[in-house]
Amino acid sequence: MWMLAGIVLLHVTTIILLLVSSIDNAWWVTDSVSTDLWGKWELTHKVWHYTNLKDSPEDDYLQTVQATSVLACVFTILALFVFLAQLFTLPKGQRFTFTGILQLIACLCIMIAASIYTDKFHVNERPGGYGHCYILAWISFGLTFALAITYLILRKKKE
């Protein structure tokens, strides 16, 4: 019972981390610029100004990062609901396979988003660095992978 509660708590934590990394504005930060997946915030005269990233040269890559980040959130939330449904409906030995697969897909989406962002954005920009949202995305990658493996291991457990 405590193990399942811990898994649910870890799953909810992963969902929160993914949502924060996808929504908050700190994938790349400098003293006067903060960039997220949706726009750029520039500090001029002590006021933050928002600029949309739609017309950037890397627009196709940006849309891929945005889409895979959103898909990672969707698949992780869906996996939680599937986990709770499978917990009460399927017999032991058949549980959690679909949940593990959904988590692996979410893990893959996070990896794709963070990898493309790493490779295509801010490559030659030296003043600045990756912000907390970028780091949270990679932490979420590790947590979703660990959850996927956990679900696939729990599938085989018969009590």
Exposure class string for 115-138: b at 16+ Cβ within 10 A, else e: ebbeeebbeeeeeeebbebbebbb
- Is 126 a member of any domain? yes
pLDDT category, 137, cuts 50, 70, 90? very high
Residues 6+ apart with CB under 8 A from 108: none
- Is 111 a member of any domain? yes
How many domains, in total, are found in the chain? 1
Tell me the pLDDT tens digit for each residue of 1-39.
788 889 999 999 999 999 999 998 889 999 888 988 888
- Is 37 a member of any domain? no
- Is 105 a member of any domain? yes
- Is 130 a member of any domain? yes
> For residue 159, what pLDDT is reported?
46
- Is 35 a member of any domain? no
- Is 127 a member of any domain? yes
Tell me the pLDDT tens digit for each residue of 60-119.
899 999 999 999 999 999 999 998 888 878 666 667 888 999 999 999 999 999 999 999
Show the domain range for 86: 2-27+57-156
- Is 32 a member of any domain? no
